[in-house]
Structure 1
Amino acid sequence: MNEAEVVSRICEHLQNKSWQFWIDDHPIHKELHFQKHCLLIGGARPDIFGLNDVKQIFAVEVKGLKDYKKAIGQALTYKSGVHLSYIGGIKSHINKISNIAISSGLGLISIDESNSGIEVINPLYNISPVFLDDIKNELMVLQHQKKKNRSFSSFGRTHIINYFAPIFLFQDNMSKSRTKKGLITELENAQWGNRAYRELISGANTIGILDINKDGYTLSKIGQFCLEHFVTIGVDSLSKLQEKLNQTQRNKCVYSEFPSLAKFLQLIYFQNSDFKQFISILQNFGKT
């Protein structure tokens, strides 16, 4: 039984328990038709991540035929961001690491290859994970995201804050549909500094903060989340966003000037798998 098969068995079990979850979008899981994530916890990506039936955040590191000792270290890393951290795998292999895993506060999900049985040993509850707030934000985005229908190729070369301007046009009525022409007119009336209005609207759709339908554009669930976030940090209007943008400098990155805002924007951007793949290519460029 390979890793993907073990992941599938565990996911079917979690579905029966009414847990909400996503699986790592690693290529070995490409044949599995469960919702995907690209979450990092301490530099590692859990094979399964989500909420249990009492809304506790959990992560599962899954193994197939090897690397069970490595799984202990990975599952311990996840404890920095979740309440419950498990190792999932084949029962005969799980048994070999069970003592050290349990004594380390980890849970175990054992798959019996000879039948459909699954045995679960719950982990110790982690009261205050260091990165819990960040993980909660990522989880909220996952819960609100829709099936991908956007292309990274629609991005233009402009300051990333510009793409968030259109969401402020929905403040008075978040559920109302607006045509592209109408959005452009409102941006003109607001005298938004970057006049590439069509590009900004398309970019907002690419990121996923605007949805498009037969009636025009609507604010997506992620867009509502973004708007609420901006309001909480004091950016409660289009003019305030313009002020924030005017404070930036061409020779500096957003992270150096507004680190908390940059972290939030990165979270939104990385929900687009094309953008994530593009960054991965850049990071690996020139490596041997």
Structure 2
Amino acid sequence: MPSPEARVVRSLKRHLLANGLRRSRVLHLLVDAHPSYVHSPFARELEPMTRLTLEGARPDILCSVAQPEGILVAGIEVKASDRDWVKGLGQAHRYRAGVHHAYLALPTSPSDVHRSALSMARDTGVGILALDAQQWVEVAPPADPTPLPRAVSQASAILEGVPVARSLQLNHPLNYLAATFLAAHLAPSQSLLTALAQQWSDLGSEGARRHAATGASTLGLLDLDGRPTLEGQAVADLLDALQFKPTARYEKRKRLLEAHEAFAAVARFVLIRQPAVRLIHRTLADRGGELTLPKLAVEAGREDPALATALFLADPSGELKPGLRGPDFNPSTVFKLKQNLWHAGLLATKAHGSSGKKATVYRPEEDLWALPRGV
């Protein structure tokens, strides 16, 4: 005879995969490898199973859910009888700190859920799921997690995006790729700056070589010690496979996409991971694929004010609003970042001829930012 809990878990799993949780899609779902489940006649239906332990407790179901706040993780304690609600709420509350939402699932009609259970659920922040005919319904919502995932994601995007938006000092992505490649092939006693001086003649000054190393670090390719990160090592391996030779004379006056298409693809892989670049791409894609810079800045500010302000304004304490003039814009963005995106093939338009000079001569109303066709 299968355990009663196994039947309930099977029913709840079927419902979650078909209908989601809190009206949102379930991305992944695991069932606890409790012996009563592993040796149940339903074992194949309950797979994948593993030993789930959170804060010393074992939820019966763990799932990730796509919600507007982001990807949330829910832990669900399952009981075969509503008489076990006190124990179930206690168990769910124990691992609430390890998930965004903790639930107790009871195979009883919503109207039969004990009032004391609803009151205790509110006090502990645990949600309650009940079985209404063949459908599971939420009769008590779980408490929102602290901090809210959307707020954390926004803070992370600002932390990751602002340095790229305001710190890139070289206008060609091959410089950052070369620094990453050389860092992965350093001799034991050799420094990255020395390797750049010896093998990457495009950067003729120590300051430019430092900008290449700093930019590679800002892009997440080098760590604080100048060694390749996991992503940086993957980039170096890609360049190896493409037979990149730092001592070769690569054509850098032409667009990288046209001169060395494969290297441009690697540069796109690096750049599109940056929140600032994704904000530019998303804003353009949602608004027809092209905008002049003043309109792009204002529209990006509607979506992410903090990141857009740091990205576009020379004075990050300013306000994104119509009528911005040349001196209002961040010169690193309108020239260096835009030129990197054009070389990589993420923008169809290069830096405007009036950018990269005195801010007073820059004409942002003529500076068109456009995605490549078909993007």
TM-score, normalised with respect to structure 2: 0.33
- Which protein is bigger by CA-based radius of gyration? 2
TM-score, normalised with respect to structure 1: 0.42
| Greater relative contact order (Cα < 8 A, sep 6+) | 1
